[in-house]
Amino acid sequence: MPDELRNVATDFFAALDALDADRMKEMLTGDVQSVDEISRRWLRSRGDVDNQLREVVTTVTDVRTQLRDAEERIWGETGLVTCWIDQDYTMNGTPQHISAPTTLILRREGGAWKLVLWHSIPLPEQG
């Protein structure tokens, strides 16, 4: 089905925008990994990712994510989405903006696509 992974990515970022940690957690595998750009470290366990998501929903407000230039590839039970995100949010009262190439790796589990890895590389604005 075309765009099935892109739809999962869109749903994940919609859950992030809604600060719905429970919905985001449902979309993750048990062995998920990610990068926390704020603390600048890898999150290499489900517990680390769950803790980071819980922290995000308590310190961040007004999240708006635009996903663009998405492309997906599927190899059997594994999928890849590469895209660009533009994201605005407020953290501890300070407005933030990132523009970042983003990678999501997904695995089909029980008929549903779940994220096994995602990370973004925020780039400075061009001057």
Domains within the chain, CATH numbers bracketed: 4-120 (3.10.450.50)
pTM of the model: 0.92
Distance between CA atoms of residues 35 and 96, nearest Å: 18
Selection from 9, 49, 22 nearest residue 33 by Cα: 49
> Phi and psi of 62, rounded to 5°?
55, 50
Strand bridging mode 94-109 / 112-120:
antiparallel
pLDDT tens, 12-70?
999 999 999 999 999 999 999 999 887 789 999 999 999 999 998 999 999 999 999 99
